[in-house]
C-alpha cells in the first residue's frame, strides 16, 4: 500500500473540500511522508489555494513515496457527502492504481466505500515565497464572511484599508457606497479578538467574488488572518483546529486601478 491515511473525523476533509470546491475544479493532493498538500490556482488564475494537512492531522498516516493524487473536486465532495461528520475515514491508494479508495465507517454497522478515479492534472508547482506583509489583521472568520457577503450585494470590488486605527472594508456600487470598520478589540475568547499588526498603512482593492469564496472556509477556524501589502496578493489564512496539524491559505492578486 503506497499510501494510506486515516482521519478520525471525516468532518475535517469535508470542510476543507467545501472551501475549495468553488474555486478549483481539479486539484492534486500531493502526498509525502510529512502529510498532504494541495496547491492550485483557480481557473482564472487570479486566486491560489494552498492546503497543508500535516501527518499529525491523521490518526494514521503512511506514505512510502511521494505521490500526486489528482481529483475532481466536485466528485470528491460528493464522495465525502456519503460520510457523516463523525465517521472515520480511510484513504488508500496502491502504487500503480488509477483510483483512490475512500472508506468511511460510522458507529453503526454502515460501511460506505468509494473508488474515485484519479486524473492526471498538470500543475505548475509554485513556490510561494514567505511574505512580509505590511499589515497582518486577525479577526473572527464569521465576521469576515459576513462582511464579504454583505458588501457583495453592492458591488464587485472591495477596498481594504488598514492602519493602526482599524481595518475598513469598502465597496462602491451603483446604489451607493458602504464601509465596515473593525477596530482592534479584546475579547474573552481568542477567536473573537480583532488584532492589527501594522508596519505601514495599506490600501488595496480586490475582486469580492473570490473573497466570498475564501470566507467559506470559516468553519475551519474561528479566526482568519489577513496579510496585506500594497500591490501584492492578499493572504487569507485559516489554521486547523490545532495549528500544528496544518492550515488552509488563500492568495488573491489585487485589482489594479484602472
Partner DNA sequence: TCCCTGTTGA
Partner DNA sequence: TCAACAGGGA
Residue 26 C-beta-side C-alpha neighbours within 13 Å: 13
Supply the minimum distance, in Å, between the C-beta of residue 219 and DNA. Answer: 6
Here the cell at position 133 is 506583509
Burial environment of residue 171 by CB neighbours within 10 A (0 to 12, 13 to 18, 19 or more)? buried
- 149 touches DNA by CB under 7 A: yes
28 binds a copy of itself (CB under 8 A): no
82 binds, among a copy of itself, DNA, none (CB under 5 to 8 A by kind): a copy of itself
Which one of residues 178, 184, 201, 219 is an interface residue with DNA (CB under 7 A)?
A: 219
Residue 142 interacting with a copy of itself (CB under 8 A): no
Residue among 48 and 162 whose Cβ is closer to a copy of itself: 162
Q: Does 110 bind DNA (CB under 7 A)?
A: no
Neighbours of 21 (CB within 10 A): 19
Q: Is 62 in the site for a copy of itself (CB under 8 A)?
A: no
Residue with Cβ nearer DNA (83 or 226): 83
114 binds a copy of itself (CB under 8 A): yes
Strands, E assignment, 156-252: 157-163, 166-173, 176-182, 195-198, 202-207, 223-228, 234-239, 246-252
Residue 78 sits in the site that holds a copy of itself (CB under 8 A): yes
Which residue lies nearer to DNA by CB, 85 or 190?
A: 85
| 166 conformational bin, left if phi > 0, alpha if psi -120 to 50, beta if neither | left
Distance separating alpha carbons of residues 104 and 92, to the nearest angstrom: 11
The reply on whether position 85 binds DNA by CB under 7 A is yes
Cβ 9 vs Cβ 28: under 8 Å? no
Strand partners, 92: 4, 101
The 145-184 site mask, x for binding a copy of itself (CB under 8 A), equals -----x--xx-----------x-------xxxxxxxxxxx
* CA 220 to each of CA 43, 67, 123, 132: distance values in angstroms, whole numbers, following the listed order: 23, 26, 25, 24
Catalog residues that contact a copy of itself under the rule CB under 8 A. 72, 75, 78-79, 81-82, 99, 108-117, 143, 150, 153-154, 166, 174-185, 187, 192, 194
Catalog residues that contact DNA under the rule CB under 7 A. 18, 81, 85, 142, 149, 209, 219
Amino acid at each position: 500500500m503506497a499510501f494510506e491515511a486515516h482521519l478520525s473525523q471525516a468532518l475535517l476533509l469535508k470542510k476543507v473540500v467545501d472551501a475549495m470546491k468553488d474555486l478549483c475544479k481539479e486539484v492534486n493532493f500531493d502526498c509525502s511522508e510529512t502529510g498532504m498538500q494541495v496547491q492550485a490556482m483557480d481557473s482564472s488564475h487570479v486566486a491560489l489555494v494552498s492546503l497543508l494537512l500535516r501527518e499529525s492531522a491523521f490518526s494514521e498516516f503512511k506514505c512510502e513515496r511521494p505521490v500526486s493524487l489528482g481529483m475532481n473536486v466536485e466528485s470528491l465532495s460528493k464522495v465525502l457527502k456519503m460520510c457523516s461528520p463523525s465517521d472515520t475515514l480511510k484513504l488508500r491508494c496502491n502504487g500503480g492504481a488509477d483510483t483512490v479508495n475512500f472508506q468511511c465507517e460510522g458507529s453503526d454497522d454502515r460501511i460506505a466505500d468509494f473508488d474515485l478515479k484519479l486524473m492526471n492534472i498538470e500543475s505548475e508547482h509554485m513556490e510561494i515565497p514567505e511574505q512580509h506583509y505590511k499589515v497582518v489583521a486577525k479577526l473572527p472568520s464569521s465576521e469576515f464572511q459576513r462582511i464579504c457577503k454583505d458588501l457583495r450585494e453592492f458591488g464587485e470590488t472591495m477596498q481594504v484599508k488598514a492602519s493602526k486605527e482599524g481595518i475598513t472594508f469598502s465597496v462602491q456600487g451603483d446604489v451607493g457606497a458602504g464601509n465596515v470598520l473593525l477596530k482592534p478589540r479584546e475579547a474573552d475568547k481568542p477567536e473573537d479578538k480583532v488584532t492589527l499588526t501594522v508596519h505601514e498603512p495599506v490600501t488595496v482593492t480586490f475582486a469580492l467574488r473570490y473573497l466570498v469564496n475564501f470566507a467559506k472556509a470559516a468553519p475551519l477556524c474561528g479566526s482568519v488572518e489577513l496579510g496585506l501589502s500594497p500591490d501584492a496578493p492578499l493572504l487569507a489564512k485559516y489554521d486547523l483546529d490545532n495549528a500544528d496539524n496544518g492550515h488552509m491559505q488563500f492568495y488573491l492578486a489585487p485589482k489594479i486601478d484602472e
